[in-house]
Copies of this chain bind each other. A is one copy, B any other.
Amino acid sequence: MDIVSRLIPKLWDLLGDQGLLNDPTRLARYAQDWSGDLTGRPLAVARPARVEDLAQVVRLCAEAGVPVVPQGGHTGLVGGALPSAEGDELVISLERLDCVRGIDPVNFSMVAEAGCVLAALHRAAAEHDLHLPLSLGAQGSCQIGGNVATNAGGVNVLRYGMARDLVLGLEVVLPDGRVWNGLRSLRKNNAGYDLKQLFIGSEGTLGIVTAVALKLYPRPTQVQTVMLGLTSVEAAMTLYAAARRDLSDLLSAFELLPRRCIELTLAANSTLREPLAVPTPVYVLMEASASGLVDLTALMEQFLANCLEREAIIDGVVAMSQAQAGSFWRLREELVEAQHRQGRHLRTDVSVPISGLAAFMAAADAAMARHLPAAIPVVYGHVGDGNLHYNVLPPFGLDPAARDALLYQAEELIFELVDHFDGSISAEHGIGRVKRVPFQHRLSAVDRDLLRAIKSSLDPAGGMSPGRIFMLDES
């Protein structure tokens, strides 16, 4: 019996029937992510319910030379948490590590295990009149461990930052199976290197996050959600700068939706309605929120009145109820689903300096029109972060090979422009397996040496999520 075959019974002994799955019928759910574009084949799936069991799983795998891949809520978009197709990687699912270890209302913090679903943590915070501001479309499924491992963004980055900015401490199982305890809930700690930063956003390649200490905020008691109609992307950028100043850091979301996006969502979901009386070229979904004594309604009214007066916007509707605010947000959120239904397409997630965003969009549109006139760009984004999803749908009826070639070419065109604008080819989705080649292609020799130095020093055997982000042996 080889070393791998001996591993499975050991894991079984440790984890039991609920904790180790290797019956193929039970593995399907761990072999695919949300997009369905990629599938993998787990050697088996370990579902430890205790941190010490997870550590023991990692140790046994390290001894057996079996690579491991941590997996959260299957909502990643770059294939980082999927096992390889070769069936040689053990999936470690965090789903049973889902305990909220504590909430401290005076310290404005919580400690939660990695498998907690984000929406559940929102509810747990709200019970203490507190607010966990990490908010993204997938929040009903994604897990906080995955959010941290991928440094998730979402719609409130503008105000509250990325997942990284919300992490006070981490508990991590290292590649050799030891547990690093960095789970303090301090606002300030300059005692030595800030080791937790290494693991945030490293997509499971350096260790497995098992618990997170998070910053919380006062729960907003006032929210103003408005849908605005504008003439152009440039006008939206000008409005953004004005909104930051005039709304005094209370701006929490600023989403750009060109008309084509609104049309796509309306076509895909007949229960949604035109947000404004007359269609406009560009829409902005803007939200401001506040707790306490600020009169946010008056503030927003004044701001919009000023905007109309100086013709910064064509039209605008303030949501008069949570239901109406929800309908605005559905125009944004169901866009993802609407594109998904069109079948395989190119999703990008790029960022450029905010000052270059309008020019980048114009240049990308021009490049697509010139080189790939049949492709259908669907472009929207978190403008306040310089983050655009410049997605591309193939024309209807293209055969798979031609479609894939077109999407590949589209990505190349877009990424070249990103380079030109000194941007990033992955603003929030990460690299995983899907963006590895274009990422690695863009590394300088120094970048490459630093990445390798970190990876080799923390995971010398290379057993943690191998081949995600970059290949050690490829230049």
Stretch from A15-23, A243-251, A309-317 at the B interface:
A243-251
Q: Select one of B187, B247, B451, B456 contacting A385, CB under 8 A.
A: B187
Name the residue on B nearest A150 (C-beta): B190
Distance in Å: Cβ of A438 to nearest Cβ of chain B: 9
Copies of this chain: 2
Q: What is the CA–CA distance of A106 and B242 in the complex, to the nearest angstrom? A: 10
B195 near A201 with CB under 8 A, answer: no
- What are the residues of chain B within 8 A of A181 when measuring CB–CB? 444, 446
Q: Select one of B164, B250, B427, B457 contacting A456, CB under 8 A.
A: B457
Stretch from A5-13, A352-360, A364-372 at the B interface:
A352-360
Q: What is the CA–CA distance of A35 and B422 in the complex, to the nearest angstrom? A: 42
Q: What secondary structure prevails in chain A residues at the interface with B?
A: loop
B107 near A188 with CB under 8 A, answer: no
Cβ < 8 Å to B, chain A residues 32-91? none
How many residues on chain A are close to B (CB under 8 Å)? Answer: 94
B458 near A187 with CB under 8 A, answer: no
Could you name 7 residue pairs across A and B whose Cβ atoms are closer than 8 Å?
A181-B444, A187-B386, A190-B426, A191-B431, A218-B248, A248-B290, A248-B291
Distance in Å: Cβ of A457 to nearest Cβ of chain B: 4
Q: Select one of B180, B192, B457 contacting A431, CB under 8 A.
A: B192
Q: Indicate if A439 sits at the interface (CB-CB under 8 A).
A: yes
Q: Indicate if A268 sits at the interface (CB-CB under 8 A).
A: no
Distance in Å: Cβ of A213 to nearest Cβ of chain B: 10
Nearest 3 CB-CB pairings of A with B: A106-B355, A197-B197, A457-B457
Stretch from A116-124, A292-300, A318-326 at the B interface:
A292-300
Chain A interface residues (CB < 8 Å from chain B):
104-109, 150-151, 153, 157, 161-162, 164-165, 174, 178-181, 184-195, 197-198, 200-202, 217-218, 237, 241, 244-250, 290-295, 299, 302-303, 306, 351-356, 382, 384-387, 422-431, 435, 439, 442-444, 446-447, 450-451, 453-454, 456-458, 469-470
Given contacts A187-B386, A189-B427, contact A245 B106 (CB under 8 A): no
Name the residue on B nearest A188 (C-beta): B427
Distance in Å: Cβ of A387 to nearest Cβ of chain B: 5
- What are the residues of chain B within 8 A of A189 when measuring CB–CB? 351, 424, 426-427
Interface centre among A105, A250, A293 (most CB of B within 10 A): A293
B353 near A109 with CB under 8 A, answer: yes
Name the residue on B nearest A189 (C-beta): B424
Distance in Å: Cβ of A112 to nearest Cβ of chain B: 16
Q: What is the CA–CA distance of A431 and B192 in the complex, to the nearest angstrom? A: 6
Q: What is the CA–CA distance of A181 and B422 in the complex, to the nearest angstrom? A: 12
Distance in Å: Cβ of A365 to nearest Cβ of chain B: 20
